[in-house]
Amino acid sequence: MATPTPDKVGFYYASKYLGTNGAVTERTIGTVANAMQFTVTNLTEPTGAWDGALGYFTETTTTALRGVTFHVRRWDQSANTLMLSAPLPVVPVAGDKFVLYVGGGQASEKEVLCMKAGGKQPEVEPVRGTNVTGVTIKKISPILGEGTLTLNYLTSTKELQIRMGTSGDYGPTVAFTRDTQNAVLFARDLVGYIIVDVVFSQLSTANRTDTFTLAAPKGNMIPNYEGYETADGIGRTRYHLFVAKNNSTDSEDAISGMLLWTGRPAGTETTLSSSYSVPTTASASMNVANASTWPTRGFWVKNKTIATPKVDLRYVDYRSGNTLYVKPVIWGRIGFRDGNSDLKPNTPITDSYSASNSAVIDQVIVTDGSLEDGTAVGTLYLKKYVGNMYSGYEIRVGGVRCAMSNTAFTRGYRDCTAVQWNSGNVVEPASDIDIGLEFPDENGLFSDPDTENTTPDGVLFECVDDQSRSRFAGPVFPGASLGIWLRGTILDGTQARAGIEGDLSFEYY
């Protein structure tokens, strides 16, 4: 059994609104637009259907928008208007084109946007050098990373090759004898690559070299925290699905296993140097030995000393020198039985032990029974938690019983169990994103939550932001897919923050 080459492993956007075979419809800007909203000529779904969608501009008159991504805050069908969560860099004009993805459902035919070259997105607009004629770059693998890509052409043999950097060894040459589409050029490591089209008659009669500055696009998998989410003071979680496909047509090219993990903010690990313990239930400051390389505002920190079964997480409002000011842990989870349809996200609850015990539901996870007939069993994920909820008491909405608790409340962010942090614990910045994995059903379909704030059924999430603690899945046979859910958690009253660390890294064999 062989392993597919990296160019045969693709990552795709997913959506509930796709045409035949995952085809994505291009949408068109109408006559009214500004940097935060625009009308659309060809969206017919009801109001709210596109709330939370990801999108990017394709062929546009407005060249500065090509490849620019955006996040939909609200879709109003009666006004044919998409309202955005952050301003566009320039205002679109009537006729500009874009694509949209929302929910789960199925994988689209569109790959996730990869690296930019000289500010251009090759999947959206052609990238050509000034010296190596007849060659158009169509895709640049993110495996190459940011930096300088050098494309080299040898006229005597009509060969192309690439390398990262302006010196060192090139990758293997690829010779051309005719017009060719979708040719793959690998770097020296045979992992990073680009895909090109070649017009043979336009190739130069002399050796030529072009260089391109590569940069990663932003917001193409996980939107930034634009700030509007917590205007109500509650906070929320967001979920987005992407699909990894084994595109090999060779029946022997199976992916036996795939490891996945996310990026995280810069910052080296250090130790807690406070002479006191850090509590879980109140805002606190904690001192570390050296946080000079850490972010200064709005980031997660993980305690690597507490690693069984998972590292523990806190949210840092801001850092001043080596002092971190952290939020109290007021999220967590409680088990329930006999749950009915009054259990809904963003619903306030109390319990029968004491009316002062309160929380707001973030997610309702049903593992058995039904909410419709009052027999549901599962877990409530809660936020704005106050007091102590125990097992065996009524869970109430508006003072009326809607379920019975069957476990005590477990305090913790992002499926962690919060414990006290102490001097000497090893800590470092953590990813903003959690990963959950899902294989499609027999029809090739994935979970399809009603909104971006609703958890996909049966998917378990974990913060895995280094290769040693990655998520594993496999096998993925030729033509098969793996669903990768990314979850962002936005806490109560957090400030807007751009540049969320949503990079997805993978290794397979």
How high is the pLDDT of residue 493? 77
How high is the pLDDT of residue 226? 62
Phi-psi region of 22 (alpha: psi -120 to 50; beta: other; left: phi over 0): left
Q: Is 285 helix (H, G, I), strand (E, B) or coil?
A: strand
The amino acid occupying position 243 is V
Dist. CA 376–CA 379, nearest whole Å: 10
Residue 20, C-beta contacts closer than 8 angstroms, at least 6 positions apart: none
Residue 225 · residue 73 · CB < 8 Å: no
Residue with tokens 């409002």: 317
In the chain, which stretches have pLDDT less than 50?
none
What's the distance, Cα to Cα, between the start and end of the chain in Å? 11
Name the β-bridge partners of 462: 435
**Residue 373's closest CA among 400, 349, 403, 331?**
403
Q: What pTM did the predictor assign?
A: 0.93
Q: Is 144 helix (H, G, I), strand (E, B) or coil?
A: helix
Q: How many residues does the chain have?
A: 509
Delimit the domains of the chain by residue range: 17-102, 116-215, 228-264+432-508, 270-329+415-430, 332-411
Measured CA angle at 372 (ends 371, 375), to 5 deg: 50
Residue 414 · residue 463 · CB < 8 Å: yes
How high is the pLDDT of residue 76? 97
How high is the pLDDT of residue 498? 67
Dist. CA 185–CA 197, nearest whole Å: 11
